[in-house]
Each structure stands twice: as structure tokens, then as C-alpha cells.
Amino acid sequence: MPTERASFADRRARAAAKLRERDLAALLASPGADLFYLTGYQLFTSERLTCLVLARDGKATMVCPELEAPRAAAAAPDLERATWGETEDPYALVARLVNGAGGIAVADQMWAAFVLRIESTLPRRAFSVASEITRELRMRKDASEREALRLVAESADRAYARMLGRPFAGRTEREVGAELAGLLREEGHEEVGFTIVGSGPNGASPHHETGDRRIADGDVVVLDFGGARRGYRSDITRTVRVGRTIESEAQRVHDVVRRAQDAGYAAARKGASAESIDAAARRVIDEAGYGAYFIHRTGHGIGLDGHEHPYLVRGNREPLEPGMAFSIEPGVYLAGRFGVRIEDIALIDDDGSVRPLNRADHALATVA
């Protein structure tokens, strides 16, 4: 379901209202999630400045290099463009579009090379991060975003189900990771973001860099992978065992992590604080005696960015609301031995209940 042009205009109108509330003059977004969210235009950052200037009165202009103008026009035909040629100064163009008093909000991931030039072209203005404006909007996914997240999650589920039929023993993590990446693409991903294959002791490092270790019979393997389709991201983790014999503690730890995830789901509903999901999952792991080995927060929001608000972490009292999508991903990491993590993306529905977007089997699957 493609997002209608009208909904991009509506997002810009709501962002502009927030600019007025906060006495900001403009929001500036270079290529990245905020730009895509506000315009539908997706491109990689390069040294040539592309920048949406959203003024507090709602007027939106895409400052873009002349050679990118056809792409910008195709992606966001309803936006005015201010194009600059190779020998012109794009920063002067941006400055000309910022009228009236007030500070400037810049996209969180804008390159310092751009921010510093913009700052010097717009002196005596306070600069802040655009997430102050966009996080409230982006956290609550609309119908088309929820659908996009569901489709990309299901695509990842299918890739995992097919991976279970592939051999593991005797192959390197890198080979398994490459195969998983291929399956993600075959199942509908347009971009593969990461394929973490943490085998044996490597699984005890949550963000292990998939490497040359050869997977052996008896290994426990953490598979954490994701990417994007139409800009919206997937992120799923399952833990598998290679062959029939593993150390008995691995199954026990997996049971604990699975119950922790169930507890996280049980706590997740409209109005529950983000930290209460973390607490519910953590309690199960603490009570099983593995509390010291659960070394990260329970989850993160997901959407156009792989990690975004809300973060399910102690200290975040933010209440969950319909439209919020986030991971629930408890884990236990036993250094030198193995790790176990189970991760799904979940969504708070309009009726206030939680809905899993990933439905791939949670059991400790046996692979060959």
C-alpha cells in the first residue's frame, strides 16, 4: 500500500504545527528517515547538499543539486524545488528559505559537514535536533506504515523458515549469513541491513560481527537479521541448535529467554510504560538466576530507522500508544560458551492490545 501524497502533506502540516508550538523557524532534513517520512523521497547522502526546508508556516521546499532534480521531482512531485548548479552555494539557498525568527531544527543524522556550514550561514540562531519534532509523529505509525512493517516482518519470517532447511554444520558464519541475506531478498526485502550469525561462543556477543568461524555440530547459533522494504525495516532474532547434542544448559536458557519474551508481550499494552516491558522480561531472567547475563535493554522502536523511539529500557516512563512498533528481545549471554536471544517486532493496535508482527516459530529449532 503506497503512502498517498496527501499523507506526506499531512505529516508536514503536523510537523509545522510543532515548529510553531516550539517557536522554531524551520526544520531542515537531509537524506534519511525524516526526509523520507516527510516527503517520500529516499536517497543516500552524498557531499552535494539535498535538504528539505520546512518553514513554520508549512511551506516546504526541496533544496537539491540540479542533477538530482529529476529524481526529487519524481519522488515528491508536490514539493517546490530550489535547485543549485555545481558552482553555486546551496547554503545561501537554504538561508534564503528560512524566514522569521526562531531556532532551527536539523535532522539528527545530518552530516556535521552540512550542519556546520548551515550554522555559519544562519548565525545567531539556536540549533536543535529535529527528533524533538519528528519523534512524536514517527512513533505513532499510521495505517500504511503498520502495513509496511507487517509485510517486511513476514518477509523476514519466511526467510528464517527457509533457512532452517539449510545446512549449518561445516559452513562458516559468513557463508550462512550470505545465504540468509539471499533468502531475505528472495522473500521481498529490497535491502539487507545486517545478518548476525553468532555461533557457539560468538553468540555471547550480542552484536557479533559475522566471521570466519566454522559452525560445528553441537553449536548454539544466534541468528539476528533484518533489512528494509519500501523504507520500513525488519529485525528478528531466533536461536537454533546444530545437531542433536548440545549442552543441557542451552535448552534451559532458551526456555528462560522464551518465558521472558512472553512476559514482555503480556505486559505490553496501551498505557503501559516502556520500562515496564523491560522490567517484566528482566524479572523472569533475574528469577532464573541469569540476570547478570542479560546485558542490554529489552527493545527499541522500529520504523524507517532500525532503532528509534520508543526504547524499552529502565527509566523510560513513556506510555505505549496505538501505532507504536518495537522489538521485544531479551537475551542471555554466557561468555566463552553461547548466547540465546529471541526477538520479535510487536505493534500496539488501536484497541490497545499488542500484536506480534513476527510469527516465525520461537522454539529452539534443530538444524543440520
Q: Under the rule (CB under 5 A), what is the footprint of Zn ion? A: 224, 235, 237, 327, 343
Q: Would strands 103-106 and 24-29 be described as parallel, antiparallel, or unpaired?
A: parallel
State the minimum distance, in angstroms, from the CB of residue 54 to Zn ion: 30
- Other CB atoms within 10 Å distance of the CB of residue 116: 10
User: For the sheet containing 24-29, what is the strand order?
Assistant: 80-84, 60-65, 51-55, 24-29, 103-106, 127-129
Q: Nearest to residue 95, comparing CAs of 121, 124, 74, 127?
A: 121
State the minimum distance, in angstroms, from the CB of residue 206 to Zn ion: 6
Nearer to Zn ion, 227 or 231 (CB): 227
Nearer to Zn ion, 175 or 235 (CB): 235
State the minimum distance, in angstroms, from the CB of residue 333 to Zn ion: 12
State the minimum distance, in angstroms, from the CB of residue 306 to Zn ion: 7
In whole angstroms, give the CA distance from residue 102 to residue 116: 18
User: Do residues 242 and 368 lie in contact, with contact meaning Cβ atoms separated by under 8 Å?
Assistant: yes
Q: Nearest to residue 325, comparing CAs of 284, 260, 282, 268?
A: 268
Nearer to Zn ion, 156 or 256 (CB): 156
In whole angstroms, give the CA distance from residue 344 to residue 208: 19
State the minimum distance, in angstroms, from the CB of residue 209 to Zn ion: 13
- Count Cα neighbours of 352 within 13 Å in the Cβ-side half-sphere: 6
Nearer to Zn ion, 179 or 305 (CB): 305
C-alpha cell at 340: 540465546
Task: Count Cβ neighbours within 10 Å for each residue of 277-291 and write b for 16 or more, e otherwise.
Answer: bbbbbbebbeebebe
Q: Where are the alpha helices (DSSP H) in 164-212?
A: 173-186
In whole angstroms, give the CA distance from residue 83 to residue 62: 8
Nearer to Zn ion, 68 or 275 (CB): 275
Nearer to Zn ion, 231 or 330 (CB): 330
User: Do residues 212 and 335 lie in contact, with contact meaning Cβ atoms separated by under 8 Å?
Assistant: no
Nearer to Zn ion, 111 or 194 (CB): 194
In whole angstroms, give the CA distance from residue 32 to residue 36: 6
Q: Would strands 331-334 and 338-341 be described as parallel, antiparallel, or unpaired?
A: antiparallel
Nearer to Zn ion, 12 or 208 (CB): 208
- CA distances in angstroms from 126 to 14, 120, 135, 187, 331, listed in the order given: 22, 12, 19, 46, 41
State the minimum distance, in angstroms, from the CB of residue 262 to Zn ion: 18
State the minimum distance, in angstroms, from the CB of residue 100 to Zn ion: 41
State the minimum distance, in angstroms, from the CB of residue 324 to Zn ion: 15
Nearer to Zn ion, 128 or 205 (CB): 205
State the minimum distance, in angstroms, from the CB of residue 302 to Zn ion: 7
